[in-house]
Structure 1
């Protein structure tokens, strides 16, 4: 009986593309979601001493959990980003800085629907 796994055929790919190296094994949706979380984390770390109200945002982001079993990446990560956005939206009334971070985050969330959309790159939502 012949094994369907043929090492030479299945792994005869070129891994020279530098762009794909960072995302190996990740779906587009997972990559976007992790980028959003990273931008939030980096922004909070960079500015929380200057803007103490960002500590509330830090607590909200760190306490955020999603439990969506049996959901594939194409649905889970957009849902997680939407729920994270809704989770921090009440804090936007607390400060202009949190409102700006929230608004900038929406540009990245839009990328789930349109992969070619340009995500936000800016001063107060670090890239």
Structure 2
């Protein structure tokens, strides 16, 4: 059960070995999916923000995003967090085509909360060259 989710703290573990990456023992599908979405979003911003200045605004918005849902189990918390994150960045889609593409690709992954068998977005990053 998570009470809140802080963007900066959640990826502090990124310095571990690849062996540990495969160990999601105890992680729910919802948590794993949400962390994957956040990781793709973060990696996309880091990869492309130098080429697309509008992504700096997206980075700031994502960094400021917090969820506070006390006493909510994982099966409800992570889909809610994904939905709120999506709603948080949706207004930025008007700023650039790149943010719109990121948003659209995120929606494909977010749909998997409702249907675990849904295809999801296949790329490792939410933008393509």
Bigger mean CA deviation after superposition, 71-80 or 117-126: 117-126
Moved beyond 6 Å, runs of 4+? none
In the TM superposition, 1:47-58 aligns within 5 A as 47-58=48-59
Q: 2:14 corresponds to which residue? A: none
Superposition TM-score, scaled by structure 2 size: 0.79
Structure with higher RCO (Cα < 8 A, 6+ apart): 2
For the pair shown, the structure with the greater C-alpha radius of gyration is 1
Pairwise CA RMSD:
1.8
Q: Distance in 2 between matches of 1:67 and 1:124?
A: 27
Structure 2 gaps of 5+ residues are: 1-21
In the TM superposition, 1:1-127 aligns within 5 A as 21-122=22-123, 125=126
Task: Say if 1:33 and 1:81, in contact at 8 Å, map to a contact too.
Answer: yes
Q: Distance in 2 between matches of 1:103 and 1:124?
A: 12
Deviations 1:46-98 (A, max 9, x none): 00000010000000111100000000000000000000000000000000000
Q: Distance in 2 between matches of 1:38 and 1:79?
A: 17
Shift of 1:124: 5.1
